[in-house]
Structure 1
Amino acid sequence: MLDVYRPKDKAGVLPVIVSVHGGGWVYGDKERYQYYCMDLACRGFAVVNFTYRLAPEYKFPASLEDTNRVFAWVLDHAEEYGFDRTRIFGVGDSAGAHNLGLYAAVCTNPEYAAKYPFQPPERFVPTAVALNCGVYRAPVSEDEKDQSNLLMADLLPERGTKDEYEKISLVNYVTSQYPPVFLMTAAGDFLREQAPLLVEKLMEFEIPFVYRYYGSADRPLGHVFHCNIRLQEASRCNDEECDFFRSYC
């Protein structure tokens, strides 16, 4: 299930953003993201907003398979919807950032791609991605009742083995072919310690990236604050991400 948004005042071929929603891998859908995606479209992009299969009913990599299907759909329907096949971007937040980050690794790391039962479109790599308040190394706790462990048990087929944790940790699979990244977190983001882990890998492989840390002790800003388009800081973040994408157009 997906929706496409285009700015009313823009005809012809447009760069496209695929939005991968968050929700802890177990909830969320495109309806929750429609206004955020419309707001992105107002910045001059075609935006694809979709719902992927959720855990625990559908275990990993179902969400990754669905993400692949949507990018393939964009390529297959470019003429019909006015998508620029050479400028296909992705945004994701929280679990969606995890999903999108792994998908970019599948597209750029053949050894990693071989771990999955699906294949990305031939020679396709997202032009650039924006990863917001995401998970880039599997959250593991020694406390079996910790919320992150419970989420991993819902997500993963074997409920969180060492091999599964390794497989879903993006930091293990970044290569020099990884696409440019806009990476952000916030002072009040409970996942804020994840972003520096990815920064280290992007620097190691000399991947072009922008890292932003929004908010302060006085105004911390919360997890995925950028989706609240009424916030001034959300507008700033979304402007900066779209400006980053335009630099690759």
Structure 2
Amino acid sequence: MKRAMKIGLGIVLFLLLAGGLLLLAIRTNGPAVLNGIDRLTGGGRGVTLVSNTQYGPHRDQKLRIYAPAKADRDQPLPIIIFVHGGSWSWGDPDDYTFIARALAPEGFVVALAGYRLGKDGRYPAMLEDTVTAIGQTARIAPQFGGDPNRVILAGHSAGAYNVVQAALEEKWLSRIRVIPRGVVGLAGPYDFYPFDKDSSRDAFGSVGAGPESQPVNHARHNAPPMLLVHGERDTLVKPRNTRALAKALRDAGAPVETRFYGSFDHNAPLISFASPWRNSRDMDDAVVEFARRVSKVSVPVQAESP
């Protein structure tokens, strides 16, 4: 009996230690941990890294493109370009390959784009980089079965800001002549001026940015369709950001869809893309359905023969 109790106590202590180490690892670099768990529990899913490159000389200007096994140059697939978060101060596309493994098998070429961080990435540098990465992806993705005329932008947290601002403030994408079919924002900050956090003061206030830096102030009737996702328990980027932007877009007559999850915190939308969680949540299904719908190829109507 005593031996069994000792074994049981040892197992409990081991699980507590393992759980504590996992939490510590997640807090240190959550995306990298998610990436490892996803690969262990979900495998590679037939997704291949087809382009490992830089779009600029800075170490953060990374571009990684992934394609599913069924990618075919003769039948090009829509492209999802995902931009990571990290308060504009940290993050690495190489820690987000679980996004590609979640989305590419659903019929997409997936690009993971980095951007300059910290002092080097202060506004508007993070937007300049995001736009350059979008343009570079549109140029080279056809080599790997991607359709540059069917681009969907997506991002989490700071990355959601980057793609939404780039899509709404018309001067940005006009530089590269890419018109996104849709935009997905996950837990994004869209209405945070005046800047009241260290991360936003460092990235925006330190260079004198003002209301023009806010996506909510660029809502327009001809904005691309948007899907905005937010957790009600998000205390880092409060859900009022998504509500404010959605209202501004609707008031302008632009198409926008929102999904709010009562049990989600800031990172839950991201976790929903990783195995094993993506099998038990509907958020990734919502993103896939939206991306498929907005990127659908229009078939021209044939005139009736006289």
- Which amino acid in 1 is paired with 2:269? H
Greater CA drift, 84-93 or 231-240 = 231-240
- 2:259 counterpart SS class: strand
> Aligned match of 1:186 in 207, 223, 231?
231
Counterparts of 2:87 and 2:280 in 1: how far apart (Å)?
21
Counterparts of 1:102 and 1:234 in 2: how far apart (Å)?
31
Percent identical pairs in the alignment equals 26
Is the aligned partner of 1:209 residue 2:256?
Answer: yes
User: Shift of residue 36 of structure 1?
Assistant: 1.9
Is the aligned partner of 1:120 residue 2:175?
Answer: yes
Report how many residues are paired. Answer: 227
Aligned partner of 1:169 in structure 2 is 214
For residues 61-140 of structure 1, what are the structure 2 equivalents within 5 Å? 61-106=124-169, 109=170, 113=171, 120-122=175-177, 124-140=178-194
Post-superposition CA distance 1:113-152 (Å, at most 9, x none): 2xx7x95213x221100011001112536xxxx5x1x112
- 1:194 counterpart SS class: helix
Q: Which runs of 4+ in 1 moved over 4 A?
A: 232-235
Structure 1 or 2, whichever has the larger Rg, is 2
Aligned partner of 2:242 in structure 1 is 195
- 2:135 counterpart SS class: helix
Counterparts of 1:34 and 1:235 in 2: how far apart (Å)?
19
Counterparts of 1:95 and 1:43 in 2: how far apart (Å)?
25
User: Shift of residue 165 of structure 1?
Assistant: 2.9
- TM normalised by structure 2 equals 0.69
CA, structure 1 residues 175+89, in 2 after alignment: closer, same or farther (shift >3 Å)?
same
- Which amino acid in 2 is paired with 1:33? Y
Counterparts of 1:160 and 1:119 in 2: how far apart (Å)?
24
> Aligned match of 2:292 in 243, 246, 249?
246
For residues 14-53 of structure 1, what are the structure 2 equivalents within 5 Å? 14-53=77-116
> Aligned match of 2:121 in 52, 58, 61?
58
User: Shift of residue 67 of structure 1?
Assistant: 0.9
Q: Note the residue ranges of structure 1 that are not aligned, 5 or more in a row.
A: none
- Which amino acid in 1 is paired with 2:216? V
The answer to whether the 8 Å contact 1:15/1:84 transfers is yes
- TM normalised by structure 1 equals 0.84
User: Shift of residue 232 of structure 1?
Assistant: 4.4
Post-superposition CA distance 1:32-59 (Å, at most 9, x none): 2111222111211000002110022332
Aligned partner of 1:224 in structure 2 is 267
Counterparts of 2:193 and 2:283 in 1: how far apart (Å)?
26
